[in-house]
Structure 1
Amino acid sequence: MDCGIITSKTVLLFLSLIFWAAGAMLAYVGAHVIQSYDTFGNFIQDKYTLVPAVIIIGISVVMFIFGLVGCCSTLRESKVGLSFFFVIIMLIFAAEVAALVFSFIYRGKVTDDLERSMTTVFSNYGGQETQADTSAVDFLQRELQCCGIHNYTSWSNTTWSIRNNNTVPHSCCKNNSAQCTGRLDQPDLLNVQGCEPKLESLLKDALGYAMLVILGFAIVKFFGMLSVCVITCRTGSRRSGYQPLYA
């Protein structure tokens, strides 16, 4: 067995073995992205931003199954099995590239989507028919320790603040301080940073993490396809009786 076959088999066996680990990791990443978006779902109108996460989870499911196929086909040097494994790797590779493209597209749209949706939700704060928006804003401000869209003064232009003597909600208070009344002239008792930049950073970090993981596994898939080609071509040459000529 020549060096090319040994190297290619090693690569494919390694690829098959990490299919399970990769599947588990991709499932975790996809779930993490969905959870991050779902937690603050009231502020995200464009649900297509979850497409990359759905693709990642779909990939992870098939990886558990096809890892065994690749391992068996490599050990047996089955041309049919390796060809099937090549198709599998190529499809997963294409899906990962698609997920990367979607991630790049939607990562750039996060800012505009948040600006539009957060303005709507914050303007509905305190309404009798918008209790869900009120709870969402309070949860967001406590969770991210922020206040207002851009900063705590963003509340000045809202209907709720005008009706409540130009104050901010108690969810803006630092550590729910009992001394905090929500007055704008007490910034030392308030979380003064805006919620939009914090939420934007959180969502972009989640997508960025997912993109790095996808890119890493896409590179492994590329070398896996090359290894399948090497083993298939060498195996076909041996079975046809071809012998290399040496000077």
Structure 2
Amino acid sequence: MVTESEKKTFIGCNTLFGLVAGLVFIGGALNGLHGISKYFATILNGEESTMVMVRMSLFFFTGIFMISTAILGCYGAHTGNRYLLSLYAFVMGLTLILQLAAVTLLVNYDEWDIARNAMNRSLNNYYNLDSTSYNESVQFWDYLQPNMECCGIDNYTDWRNASQAPAVSFIPESCCKPSLDHDDDVTNCTRFITNGNLEDAALVEKFIYVDGCIGEYFHDYAIDLVALYAIFMAFFQVFGIVHACCLVIGLRADYRRLESQIN
């Protein structure tokens, strides 16, 4: 016999792990999409853009499915409707497949590698006036670096190895700190940094940002934690499916018992 306590336990667990997890997936996907559209949209190639969008969309729709399924399961348990609970178990299984597919894509198409490759291409096109991506590269770095308060991919020294970088002022002015720590014009701060003093972090830090942009970006927009959360949630989803099946079996037994008493 299915007791009210069992129903309330199912509803509570479903609310905690279903609704909350759904909101995490949706929030993570929207945050990731915001970061991509704000910074990387112009420098990703077709395949990279597709992989990123597919993965983000999978997490987004997984969140939608989880919230919808959680509501369905809670209503089914509250009303004692075994058909709704059966549907809940089925849809939860589909949701589990969706999020595992998203995690698989994340493993096969690592977000860091995609971003690093795109940034490396763009960095090497920054000084290449003949490149068809020159304008996009300049716009990307000159927008990313001051907004994220960073310089280069891993750090500011990356600009020394940029293709066709000038011997003097090879670090873009968009790396300059908008401060009054020095008496010189902020827009000309990079002329003080040469190959001779490039490794002098104390000196360089007075004029420009020194942290790499890839680390700063993923600090704000990484979806890796959402993927780890998806793996963690998979165990609870399996438990939810099993729990729903147990409730269905119990409700079916209760129905048959009641039917036999009536007859």
Superposition TM-score, scaled by structure 2 size: 0.74
Q: Give the partner amino acid of 2:23.
A: A
Aligned pairs, number: 235
2:98 is aligned to: 95
Query: Where does the alignment leave 5 or more consecutive residues of structure 2 unmatched?
Result: 195-202, 259-263
Q: Are 1:202 and 2:210 matched, yes or no?
A: no
Separation in structure 2 between the aligned mates of residue 36 and residue 174 of structure 1, nearest angstrom: 22
Identity of aligned residues (%): 19
Q: What CA deviation, in whole Å up to 9, does each residue of 1:124-166 have, x standing for no partner? A: 225386322211111122123232334333323445632x734
Shift of the 70–156 alpha-carbon distance from structure 1 to 2, 3 Å rule, reads closer
| Per-residue deviation, 1:168 | 2.0
1:110 and 2:112 matched:
yes
Question: What is the alpha-carbon root mean square deviation over aligned residues?
Answer: 3.1
How far the C-alpha of 1:76 sits from its partner, in A, is 2.9
Q: Distance in 1 between matches of 2:27 and 2:160?
A: 41
What does residue 10 of structure 1 align with?
8
Please say if 1:190 is aligned against 2:195: no
Distance 2:24 2:91 in 1: 19
Q: Match of 1:192, as an amino acid?
A: V
Structure 2 distance, partners of 1:120, 1:209, is 27
**TM-score scaled by length of structure 1:** 0.78
CA separation of 1:241/1:62 partners in 2, compared to 1, >3 Å: closer, same or farther?
Answer: same
Deviations 1:19-68 (A, max 9, x none): 44443332211101212232331454412033332112112333444444
Contact 2:19 2:67 in 1 (8 A): yes
Preserved CA contact (<8 Å) 2:73 2:84: yes
Offset at 1:197? 4.5
- Confirm or deny that 1:49 pairs with 2:52: yes
Q: Please tell me the residue identity of whatever aligns with 1:214.
A: A
Counterpart contact for 1:8–1:227, Cα < 8 Å: no
Match of 2:231 among 195, 208, 215: 215
1:230 aligns with 2:252: no
Letter in 2 for 1:25: V
- Aligned CA distance change for structure 1 residues 85 and 172 (closer, same or farther; 3 Å): same
Per-residue CA shift, 1:147-201, capped at 9, x if unaligned?
2334333323445632x734322111122662543122462312234334544x4
State the 1:120 CA deviation. 1.9
2:152 counterpart (148, 151, 158): 148
Partner letter of residue 116 of structure 1? N
Q: Is the 8 A contact 1:55 1:99 kept in 2?
A: yes
User: What is the Cα deviation at residue 13 of structure 1?
Assistant: 1.3
